Each structure stands twice: as structure tokens, then as C-alpha cells.
Amino acid sequence: MLNLKEAKCIQLMHTYMKVCIFSSCIVDLLYPDVGKAMVELLHRFGCETVFPEKQICCGQPTYNSGYDKETIATFKNQLDALLSIDADYIVGPTGSCVAMLHEYKDILKDDPEYAKKAQVLYDKSFELTQFIYRVLGILDCGAELDDTATFHRSCHMTRLLGERTAPLVLLEHVKGLNLIPLHNIQLCCGFGGTFSAKEPLLSEAMVDDKANNVLKTKAHILIGCEQTCLMNIGGRINRRKEGQHIKIMHIAEVLNHNVDTSRITYVKDTDHVMVPANGNGVF
Amino acid sequence: MGIATSDKPFLDRVKEAEADKFMRASVAKAQDAQFTKRTEARRQLGNWEGWRDLSAQIRQHVIKHLPDYLEEFSENVQKNGGHIFFAKDGDEASAFIKQLAIKKKAKNVVKSKSMVTTEIGLDKELLTIPGLSLMETDLAEFILQEDDWDEPTHIVFPTLHKNRNQIQKVFEKIGYKGDNVPEHMAKFVRHYLRNYFMKTDFGITGCNFAIANNGMINLVTNEGNADITMAIPKTQVVVMGMERIVPSLKEAETLDNVLCRSAVGQKLTSYCSFSKGKEADEADGPDDFYVVVVDNGRWQMLNTDFEPMLQCIRCGSCLNVCPVYRQVGGKGYGSIYPGPMGAVLSPILGGYKEFQDLPYACSLCDACTETCPVKIPLQQLIRKHRYVEMDKLHLDHSMTNTMLKAVGKGTASPLLFNDAMRFAHVALEPFGKKTTPEDIKNLYPEGKINHLPAVAPKLAHGWVDVRDLAVPPKYHQNFRHWYHHYAEEEEHNND
Amino acid sequence: MTDYLKEANNPQNQEDFLNRIAAAADRPRHTLKDDPLVPVNDLPETTLAGKTQDELLTIAKKNSENVHVNFQVVKAADLGITLNNFIAEKEVKSLMLPSFDEQKWNDYSLGKWQESLQLDPIYYWEPSQGRQNIVNANASDAAIGFADFLLAESGTITIATYPQQGRMFHFLPTHYLAIIPKSKILPRSRQAMDYYQKAIQEGSLKTSNINFITGPSNSGDIEMVLIVGVHGPLDMEYVVVEDM
């Protein structure tokens, strides 16, 4: 899924780019700091950013609940908004919502007006770490964070977007960061969008498992690429009053932490060095 | 009940399942063990994605030409001297087998594990015949039978919900006097069932794959009970779902390889057999060989979004990776087909009315799609069921439905969304509490919401009853305000 | 009540069923001849291909032992001793053997060995004895039989059912030993399947049953604890004959 896009990206390394910010509704409504960190990161790497005001939401809340027809207007609004300013790339701090944007081209394939636009959206849109690593070709963001952390790998970014390695490559290069492996990293945290609210019993059992595994690492920071998963896991740990020692950080905030620009490092020979998006796992 | 294993409401089943600590621990242990074994078995095979492509292609090709392959298979079964009956539904299939058992004066029937016979409720039908006794010979199915026909909770490990002590109790009822060591209990069963096998006259098996070009049946087991079931009795009946067919032995070979690795993490199970009615000069094997091809609602998948579900080879690996199955096991689903494959199959075979909750018992994590050896897009099909239920059948008339429709409008209108951003803080702030040093450091800068009044909508309770919610930022402190300010400053700096 | 038994092998029953699903699929029947299956890859053939017989033997040994098989490699001259050791070790009193002709036994240098056996009873699987063979197999402490192939990848022996060596020969005796010439070690299940498919199609093999057996019978049905020996043999030995 990502291979064609990767190939194209490599040629664009180090060149000037205009990036359209896809903030996602969760950042707009609840977590401004994630959006801020992302914008600061992109500016530091020499991107010009634009922000189309009419963007709202990728449409997952209703689409994934079965309201396909009701969601078409949401898709079209989002598509029109994100393409309303001509930019080289569209970048968002969420693998799940970007994967949804990618799906538009299948959903709207029979729509004479939108089919082509949806393809353009697919070609241009990237999750943040994927963009930094695979498009900008950056290995080391220059960040420093002297602490222990564990990483929650979100399902949609891994399986629907097909990106399981970019965030880990970038985190490995954060100075001072000690990453502790998370047991059963492949299991869903129980967020699942409206699932978490519609099926609280199931979701609770799932997030409890995840919380237990996170707490077992004794890490001070829980890092993820998906603020929604983080607010689920963090919210549950907080409810259980077991999180005094824990800080929740979106990966954008980690990569934007205590940056020394002189340490920013680019991939040298992209063809050989870059780790494949889907990793080596078979699960 | 059909494929249903319970008449309790979904929520009750979930609550019961979650209260069953042994069951949950044992499912988790099984999932973790299979994770290691399956991953390793696939890694050793090499190029797993290539094997999936080939397997999916075989299954899709067969489904596309299903009538042709069934016709070819039927011709060969008959050429071999066998009999084949095509059953529209479970009732026809059961009635046929019952009439056959009566005609053959069957006394001691043996069965090897088969999901489709469970689906059509065959055992109970046969047991209405006076003087007929019936024995499930797969160890797990035997345990279920002796436990007053308890229902299976996994399609490959049917007794995953039972521990050794419970099993010991079951066996004590039929004369077992030993301890709870699995090997000792298995020895007892071996002896018990061997005696029964030696006097059996009528065998019933399922079918992993039917071989179109030679009329053989492929069965895959670890215990060997299927082989005995199709060697000793003079009459053998094979019951197969109509989609379980492959062109030739070669495709069966390919699929057995992905099936065994996916189901139990073995390269091949102890026994993979290909058989038909006995040849004249052979001493064992069935004299009379019958095949019952069962539709039972499968036709409804043809030519629809759900057609890929017919590719399923019942390996159960989607159950073994499912985070929801991990929590509620098979009983939570209330269907003999649980887990992701069950969430797709049950509403089709058993009806949306009975199984409308199952497609929602899923966080759409996609682990099932990723593991499926024949590349069924399970997650997409589960979502498709939601679409059928909401947009087509309008099964939800609750407040949740109204709210989600409102969300649909809100996420399509920049004006409405702007209002949401404008009023989010003001609306939710009254429910918020100040954070304390006990709270996670940076998740609740504006305070947390950990309690809602009873009148709040169910959806909001669903979230807040389980986890703390952040109070949204004040309007002028939200991301968009910050961005504009930041962008202006940057522009200014660049000038 | 409908007499369903009359419907078996009834063309009408079949045609009604097939037409109904063809209509549901909205696809015409009899399209297969113009759209045969052309596999997207040749992984079944190429996986583990190109190994020498010695390499295959090494792989087969490792994988057989992984599935709890006692694996031995012997010279034809020592085969009789190996079998006697097996009989002694398992304390075999009743033994089951196939009734293949003299030629086959001599091929394995076992003509004399057979005559030298001091066991009673020795059951031969004889087609003329019909189902009594099943009773004999059930009464046997062990069976010593001949496998068609050994699959290196999975440690699997493959055996077609022959009049002289029936289905239950391999299942009912308590202990089991299979003899395989080294030349019959194949990379994996595909090569064995190619042989059976061709032999059946050509008519050179007439059999009702092919078994792929990978180690002794087992089960994980009780708390997923591996139990070896459930319905079939409790243990299993493969003896590979090097020089045949």
C-alpha cells in the first residue's frame, strides 16, 4: 500500500515543501498541545504549513458505526477542505484518521466528481512520523528526553495504514530515551472509536489489560501516535488512580522535546537504510 | 436455537463471561501460546504473504465457480460408488442422515468433530431414534457431550472454557476414578472410546476440503479420531458446507499447510487424510459412502459484500488474535461461531435479529484481517454488518442512534463544528474537577470529568463510567487559535 | 414425510441445488473451462526445493524429532536388528505386519528377519480376512509398516492404503514403526501430492485413502496441555534405510 508513495517521496528529500495541516477533531476539541508540537516540528524541518479552516473530521465516528449514507457529506466536506489549499502534502498526527482519508478513494470510487479528488488526497496524505521518516528522510529529530517510556502501537496505524516502524525508528533516535518493550503490544487498547462508549463493558476489560501491561513496564511515559488511544489508556489508568508516576505523551510532543537542531540527522542512502513500513512481523 | 448457544441478552452474556475468571485466563493463555506457535510456524514456512495470496486465490476461484466444482465433485463421488445429497438447509440434511441411520439400522454411531453438524443440530436429531447411541470422539467434543451437551466456545478448541477439575468431574460420571492430570484423563478416554469404536456401525465426519477432481474428502486432525471414524463403520456420512471444496489434491495440500499453521501452529497436524469409500480389495473403510452438501443460508453471501466470508477455512486464528474474544470467550458471543468470523457469519446464518449485537462487539482493530490465511477482510465485513443494521434495517431506535446521526451532521458542517469547538469548554466545564497530584500529569490541563449525572446520554456514560475525560480547552486556547497566532508570528519573523 | 434417501444421486436434487446457488450468485454455470485456476505463485513447489538427499535427511530428522518421533537411520543389513530392538524395547508380544509379497520384504533385506520372528501372535493384514484385520490391529502391541514417502519439512510420513496394509494398520496398534528408504525423502507435502495425484489419475495407484501422518496422535483439548497418544499410537518411530 505504501510502496508507491515511498518511492516517490525519496526524490523529494531536503526540498522545500508546503504542508497542509490535518489537525483531526480530537486535537481541535481536546488536545491542542499535540497539534502545536506537530506544527513546530514541521516548521523546524523547513516546511511551510497551511491550515484549511473548513476541515472537521475524517468521518470515522459515524462511518464505523454503520451510518454510511450519513457520513458521505462528512467525507466530502473533509476532502474539499483539505484540498482547498494547494499543498504538496497533507499531514496529520494520527494514523487512524489518515488511514480513513486513504479509504475515501474506495468509498467514492463511483462518484464522478469526487473519485479523482479522493485519489489526490490518498497520494498526498501521511501520518506525521511516516512523513518525517519516509518523506523528509529524517532519522533523528534532534529531540532529547531523559526518561523511561513505553510505546503503544495503535491498530489502525499498524494494520490499516500499514505503518509499524516509522515511529519506532524516530523514537530510537531520541537522546536519553529508554524504551521499555510493552507486553502484547499487538493487542487493541479497547478504544475502537464509538466502541468505547457503546460497549463500555468490553472496552473496560480490554483497556484494563492494556493498562496492566503499561503499568508493568514501570515506565514514566506512555507514548503513542494516536491521541485517542492515549486518552483511553491514560483515562483508565487515571480512573484506577494508579498513574501518579505516568505521563502521557503523543509522539509529536516527544520528537519536539528539548530539541538541539544541530543533532538533526537525515537518512543517508534511503534505498538501503529505510526500514520497511510493514516491518518483519507476520501478526 | 440453530447456531445460537444461549437465549440470554448479549449484555448478560458479556457480564457472565467477564465474571468467569478461569475462562478469561485460559483464553488469554491460549491466545498467547498460539501467538508464539503460529508466528513461528509461519515464519519457518517463509514468504507467508505469498502463501496467503495463493490460498485466497484458490478459495476465491472456487467460490466463483462453486456450482461447477460441486458438479464435478458429485460426478466423482458417484463414479467411486458413493452417494451424494444436496441439502437446502439444516433440516433437510438432518432428516436425510436420520433416515439413513434408520435404514441402516445404526446402533452405535461415531462422530468426529465437525462444525457444520453442530450448526445443523444433527446429534440431537439422531438421538431421537430409539435404540441408537452416539459418541463424539474428538476429546473436546466428547467432554462437551458427557457434560450434558455443553456448547463449544471455540471452533478449534471447543472446551477452552473448561479447566481440568471440571473435566475430571465430567469423567467421574462415566466411571473415571483417577486424578485431574490431563494425560491420565486422556488415557481413560482412549480406552473408553476404543471399546466403543470397535463396535461402531455408522460414522459421521465433517470435511475440511472436498476434492472435486477425484471425489475424495480431506480431513485434518491431531487425535486420529476422524480416521478411525471413517475406517471402522460400514457406513460413512460426510457432512460438508457447500463452499468447502477445492479443485484437486494439490490445492488441498496448499490449504492444509496454511490451515495447520494458522489453527494450531503446526506445520501439519498429526493426521491429514484424503479418503473415499473403500476399494473392493481393501479390508477396511466404508462400504457405503455418503456425502451431504449443506447450504443452510450460505447462498445469502453469494454476490454480496459478504461473499469473501465463504473463503473461510475455519482455522480459528481470528479468534486467537481477537482482543474481544480474549475477554468474553465463545459464550459471550452466544453463537457456535464466535470471534470475528462468528461476528460476520452469525448474523447471516442466524439472522440479524438474533445476532445484531455481534458486529458491535468489535473494536475494529483489524487483527483478524491481518492474520486470516485466506485474506477475508473480516474487519470490513463486520463494519458492513453495522451499515446493514443501521442504514438498511434501521435496527437502532435508541438515543444513541439520534446522537450518532447528530454527530454525522456536526462533522459535515464547518459551522456546526465551530459551534462545538466554541461551546465544548463551557458545556463540559461544570462537570469537571480540578486535577490533583494523583492524576496523570499532562492529560487534564483544564480538569477532568469522572462522573456524569444519571440523565446524561448513554454514550457519554459509556465513556465516563470507565475512564476520566479531559475538560476541553477554552475556545481561545484551542489549537486553531494557537495556529493562527503562530503562523502570523512566523510570517512576521520571515519578513 | 419426504423420503430424502431417494434424493441421493438424483440429478434433479443436484440440478435444483446448483441452479439455485448459480442464480443467487448471478453467474452462469459451466464457466470453469474458460477460467481454469492459474496459481499466482509456485511457492508449494519452490519452497525447500533444490536440496540434496543428504540435506533432506538432516532436515527430516530434525523436524521428525520436533514432533516426538524417534528417528533412526540404518543400513539395510542392520534393519532386522533395529526392528528386533524396537520389539524388545516396547515389550511387544503381539505384532502386526503388512502382507506384502516376498519381493518387497527382500527389497528391504527382511525376508529372513520375518521368518526368524519369535512372537506369537503375529498378525498379517490380509485382505481376505476382511474386518477381522481391524480386530487384529486392535489386539496388536505394535505395527511395523512401510511408508511411501517421508517429508523433510514437516517430519511427515505419507502412506496410501493398500490391500496388504490397510487404514487401521497405522492407527490401532499401541506402538508404531514405519520404514522409509532414504531415496523416498521428499522436500515437502507438494511433491508427495504430485505423485499421488498423477498415480491416481493414471490408474497406477488404486486406493481409497492416503494418510499424511506427522508424529503420534495428540491433543491439546484439556487446558491446551499437549497430550501425546490419544486415539492413535502412543509413540512412533521412523526408520530410514540409507542404502536402498
Whole-Å CA distances, B323 to A156, B9, B365, C18, C138 = 14, 21, 8, 39, 45
pLDDT number for residue A283: 36
Measured between alpha carbons, how far is B340 from A68 in angstroms, rounded to an integer?
Answer: 21
| Mean pLDDT value across residues B281-285 | 97
CA neighbours within 13 Å on the CB side: how many for A92? 31
| Lowest-confidence pick of A243-247, B89-93, B373-377, B461-465 | A243-247
Question: What cell numbers appear for B278 in the block?
Answer: 473403500
Per the prediction, chain B carries an average pLDDT of 95
For the packed helices B182-197 and B164-172, what is the interaxial angle rounded to 10 degrees? Answer: 40
pLDDT tens-digit readout, B217-230 = 999 999 999 999 99
Question: What cell numbers appear for B419 in the block?
Answer: 459551534
Which residues in chain A have their CB less than 8 angstroms from residue B468's CB?
235, 238-239
pLDDT at B2 over 90: no
Which residues in chain A have their CB less than 8 angstroms from residue B428's CB?
none
Measured between alpha carbons, how far is C41 from B401 in angstroms, rounded to an integer?
Answer: 47
What residues have CB less than 8 Å from A25, skipping those under 6 apart?
A56, A57, A58, B411, B417
Handedness of CA C189, C193, C194, C195 (dihedral sign): positive
Cα angle C13, B296, B137 (rounded to 5 degrees) comes to 100
Query: Residue A257 burial (CB < 10 Å; 0-12/13-18/19+)?
Result: buried
Whole-Å CA distances, A114 to A21, A90, A118, B52, B279 = 21, 17, 6, 33, 63
Contact B421 A29 (CB under 8 A): yes
pLDDT number for residue A275: 79
Contact C57, C240 (CB under 8 A): yes
Structural domains in chain C plus CATH codes: 4-34 (no CATH), 43-241 (3.40.50.10420)
Q: Which of B54, B71, B275 sits opposite C41 (nearest CB)?
A: B54
Measured between alpha carbons, how far is B156 from B222 in angstroms, rounded to an integer?
Answer: 11
Q: In what order do the strands lie in the sheet with A89-92?
A: A47-50, A17-21, A89-92, A125-127
Q: Is the pTM of this model over 0.80?
A: yes
Q: Do chains A and C touch (3 or more CB pairs under 8 A)?
A: no
CA neighbours within 13 Å on the CB side: how many for C199? 14
pLDDT at B27 over 50: yes
pLDDT at B1 over 60: no
Which residues in chain B have their CB less than 8 angstroms from residue C13's CB?
85-86
Per-domain boundaries in chain B: 67-300, 399-494
Contact C154 B143 (CB under 8 A): no
pLDDT tens-digit readout, A109-131 = 999 999 999 999 999 999 999 99
| Mean pLDDT value across residues B473-492 | 92
Measured between alpha carbons, how far is B103 from C102 in angstroms, rounded to an integer?
Answer: 44
Whole-Å CA distances, A125 to A90, A102, A121, C129 = 4, 8, 6, 74
Measured between alpha carbons, how far is B98 from B438 in angstroms, rounded to an integer?
Answer: 67
Question: What cell numbers appear for A7 in the block?
Answer: 518511492
Measured between alpha carbons, how far is A251 from A267 in angstroms, rounded to an integer?
Answer: 19
Give the residue ranges of DSSP H helices in A83-165. Answer: 95-107, 115-124, 128-130, 155
Q: In what order do the strands lie in the sheet with A175-179?
A: A175-179, A144-152, A221-224, A247-250
Contact A155 B424 (CB under 8 A): no
Task: For chain A, 283 residues long, give each residue's pLDDT as a single digit of tens.
Answer: 344 444 444 444 446 799 999 999 999 999 999 999 999 999 999 999 999 999 999 999 999 999 999 999 999 999 999 999 999 999 999 999 999 999 999 999 999 999 999 999 999 999 999 999 999 999 999 999 999 999 999 999 999 999 999 999 999 999 999 999 999 999 999 999 999 999 999 999 999 999 999 999 999 999 999 999 999 999 999 999 998 899 999 999 999 999 999 999 998 765 556 777 876 443 3
SS3 per-residue string spanning B379-426: HHHHHHHHHHHHHHCCCCCCHHHHHHHHHHHHCCCHHHHHHHHHHHHH
Which residues in chain B have their CB less than 8 angstroms from residue A213's CB?
none
For the packed helices B249-264 and B21-45, what is the interaxial angle rounded to 10 degrees? Answer: 130
What residues have CB less than 8 Å from C184, skipping those under 6 apart?
C147, C148, C149, C150
Kind and range of the H or E element at B113?
Answer: none
| DSSP letter (8 states) at residue B150 | P
Measured between alpha carbons, how far is B208 from B374 in angstroms, rounded to an integer?
Answer: 14
What residues have CB less than 8 Å from B6, skipping those under 6 apart?
B13, B151, B331, B334
Q: For B67-300, which CATH class?
A: alpha beta
| pLDDT greater at residue B495 or residue B62 | B62
Measured between alpha carbons, how far is B436 from B438 in angstroms, rounded to an integer?
Answer: 5
pLDDT number for residue C224: 82
Place of cell 476440503: B209
Coil, strand or helix: which one is A113? coil
pLDDT band at B244 (very low <50, low <70, confident <90, very high): very high
Question: What cell numbers appear for B118 in the block?
Answer: 453442530
CB atoms within 10 A of CB B476: 11
What residues have CB less than 8 Å from B353, skipping those under 6 apart?
none
pLDDT tens-digit readout, B292-315 = 999 999 999 999 999 999 999 999
Intervals of chain C under pLDDT 70: none
Q: Which of A64, A235, A283 sits opposite B468 (nearest CB)?
A: A235
Contact B228 C215 (CB under 8 A): no
Structural domains in chain A plus CATH codes: 3-134 (1.20.1050), 139-270 (3.40.50)
pLDDT number for residue A133: 94
How far is residue B56 CA from its own chain's centroid?
A: 18
pLDDT number for residue A278: 73
CB atoms within 10 A of CB C106: 12
pLDDT tens-digit readout, B45-91 = 999 999 999 999 999 999 999 999 999 999 999 999 999 999 999 99
Q: Is B341 on the interface with C (CB under 8 A)?
A: no
Question: What cell numbers appear for B271 in the block?
Answer: 493426521
Q: What is the CA radius of gyration of chain A?
A: 18
Phi, psi dihedrals of residue A21, rounded to the nearest 5°: -80, 125
Place of cell 512372537: C119
pLDDT number for residue A281: 42
Which residues in chain B have their CB less than 8 angstroms from residue C196's CB?
249, 274
Measured between alpha carbons, how far is B269 from C230 in angstroms, rounded to an integer?
Answer: 14
Pairing of strands C142-146, A265-266: unpaired
pLDDT number for residue A269: 63
Please give the residue of chain C at the shortest CA–CA distance from B53: C40
Residues 436-465 of chain B with CB under 8 A from chain A are 437-445, 448, 450, 459-463, 465
Pairing of strands B271-275, C209-213: antiparallel
pLDDT number for residue A273: 64
Q: Which of A29, A202, A247 sits opposite B361 (nearest CB)?
A: A202
% of chain B at pLDDT higher than 90: 93
What residues have CB less than 8 Å from B369, skipping those under 6 apart?
A159, B375, B376, B377, B378, B379, B380
Residue type, B333: Y
Residues in chain C: 244
Coil, strand or helix: which one is B25? helix
% of chain B at pLDDT higher than 70: 100
Contact B336, B120 (CB under 8 A): no
Contact A187 B463 (CB under 8 A): no
